[in-house]
Each structure stands twice: as C-alpha cells, then as structure tokens.
Amino acid sequence: MRVVLIGAEAAAIQVLKRLAEAEHDVVAVLADDAPAAAGAGLGEHAQRLGLPVLDAALVRTPELAGWMTDQEVDLLLNVHSLSIVHGDVVLAPRIGSFNLHPGPLPRYAGLNTVSWAIYNGEPMHGVTLHWMDAGVDTGAVAYRADFPIAIDDSGLSVFTKCVRHGVPLVLRLMEAASSDPPTIPAERQEGERTLYRRRDIPQDGRIEWDRPARRVHDFVRAADFSPFASPWPHPSARLGDRELGIVRTALTGRPCSEAPGTIGEVRGDAATVATADEWLDLVAVAVGGRRRPANEVLTAGKVLEDGA
C-alpha cells in the first residue's frame, strides 16, 4: 500500500511505526508538529526513518491532490491532525481517505472530545475510524471501538486510551485495504450529533461550587492532562482577590451542609471544600500559573468563590 500520513501526537507516531514495520510504502508524512520537536514530533520520527516530510499546510491546497495522483497514492491517513483537508486531496487516493477521530461519532464530533466526554459524565467513550468527506467528522464509519471511563480517569488517561484503542483500527484498515478494499465497511453515521469547537469551554472556564461534587470533579479532571498542556485552562475559582486554577480534586463521599465554596478541613496536602452535596478534596491548585499543594494556599473557614 502506498500511503500518505497526516498527523500529530502519539497516535500518529505509533501508526507511522506500525506502517514501517509492515513495510507499507509511506510516500510522505505531513506533520502538524515541527520536524525537530524535542524527540517527540511526528516529523522527526519520519526523518529518522528516511521518509519525506512535507509542510502540513499543503493539505489545504488542491496542488497536493495532483501530486498524490502522480504518486499513485492508495490511502490517505489523517491521525489526530487538526488540519482541514482540501476536498480535492480527500478524493485523490485510489482507495480512499480516512480519519482517526478520538471520540464516538456522531455524538462527539470536532475538537477536545475527550474533555467534553469526561465533563459530561459519560461512563463510556470511544474512537472512530471513518471515511473522510467534505464535512467535519461526517464521513461513513469504517471501524469503531468503545471503552469505559473510570471515575479517576483524567483527560490524559482517556486520551491515552483513545490511542491504545485507535491504532489497531488503522491496522485493521490496512489489512482490509491490502487484501480486499471493497470489504472496508462504510456505515452511515446516525443519531444525535454534537460538533465541539476549539473555543468551546464549559461554564466559561469557571468552577460553580453550588453544583454536585461529582460535576465539579468531572470538570477538573476533564482539563487534567498533566504533565502535558491541557486544551482547556484549569477551571478557575477566586479566593479573595486571587484567582486560582483548580488542578486536581478527589471525591470524598462525605455529605456536607456548609455553604458551597466553604473551605473545611486542611490535612496533608489537601483541603476540603463544600459543594452542593458533598465535601470535595482539593489536592492541587495553580497560583500565577504555578502548581501548588492546596494546603499551602487554602485556609479553613475561608470561602472560595466562582471563578472570574
């Protein structure tokens, strides 16, 4: 199979390695990250394998379609790239173009779907490998895989699960494309569709302490990609004239009757805060962009207000 790979992050790197191991002909790699990105970028991995690395911006141009046709490309694989692919480029490969999406379609289309699923309290999430068309995450589904979201999962851990379950879907596609392309499934998307955009952040990024503890906890862990940068800022709260980012929380299961936002017991590194129904442990906060244990910042009896 002659393949062009567009991508970024761990999933694209793993796909590239597996394509190379299977001796597929990777015609070119278009990396959303810089080719020399500290040993972690897709572009650098491609260069180490001796593969051509092209500017990711080319996917937005019809010129790439003509080049792919000349190169007799069989498949275009888009793996966690944020680039919008030109319609002519989508149509250029002999077999088709496919996108690995870190969310179950059509319910979670667009960006930051991992964070939204956690915020919404979903017990399950998934990944979808779908045919690309002119829309955003609208093409027919080739393969999908679902997995549970645990109560202690963070944004990073769910994203890691997306990679672990998503890469095998690409390998299934490669096997079918190599042996019998007409057998590649094309299941029309049906059901409720929500398209999440880059600028969408729930509650304007603010903690609302009068919500149940589970809802507050879900918001905080949805933004937790530590030690990597989060697509959302940490949910904010105010302590007097200081704005805090709420970095990490833990459920206690202990009911409370104090006013929401009231800081209760401070013990170890954590401090408890009252929500609508239970005490919630605040484990870590951020002050001025610096992460600190909650006990260094919070004092019993003070009141945390909703973020600014």
Q: Cβ distance 209 to 303 under 8 Å?
A: no
25-39, 76-90, 92-106, 263-277: least confident range = 25-39
The pLDDT mean for the chain works out to 93
Q: Which helix (H) or strand (E) holds 148?
A: strand 141-148
Q: Residue 32's pLDDT band (boundaries 50, 70, 90)?
A: confident
Which domains are seen in the chain, by residue range?
2-196 (3.40.50.170), 202-306 (3.10.25.10)
Asked whether the bond before 227 is cis by omega within 30 degrees of 0, the reply is: yes
- Evaluate the omega torsion of the peptide bond into residue 106 and state whether it is cis, within 30 degrees of 0: yes
Residue 308 above 90 pLDDT?
Answer: no
Residue with tokens 């790699």: 29
Cα–Cα dist 60/62, whole Å = 7
87: left (phi over 0), alpha (psi -120 to 50) or beta: alpha
Give the per-residue pLDDT at 38. 46
Whether the per-residue pLDDT at 245 is higher than 50: the answer is yes
Output the six-digit token pair for 136: 């955003």
pLDDT at 35: 44
Q: What pLDDT does 210 receive?
A: 96
Please state, in angstroms and rounded to a whole number, the distance separating the CA atoms of residues 302 and 36.
48
Residue 297 has pLDDT above 90, yes or no: yes
180-196 residue pLDDT tens: 999 999 999 999 999 99
What DSSP element (H or E) covers 273?
strand 270-274
Query: How far is it, in rounded angstroms, from Cα 105 to Cα 115?
Result: 15
The H or E element that residue 117 is part of is helix 113-119
**How many CB atoms are located within 10 Å of the residue 119 CB?**
22
Helices (H) and strands (E) in the chain, counts: 7, 16
Q: Which of 252, 306, 250, 249 is closest to 279 using CA atoms?
A: 252
Average pLDDT of the segment spanning 239-245: 92
Over range 245-273, report the average pLDDT: 95
Summarize the confidence of residues 200-226 as an average pLDDT: 96
8 A C-beta contact, residue 225 and residue 231: yes
**Which of 104 and 288 is assigned the larger pLDDT?**
104
Query: Which residue is listed with tokens 């009231």?
Result: 262
Confidence tier at 36 by pLDDT (50, 70, 90): very low
Residue range 119-124: mean pLDDT, rounded: 97
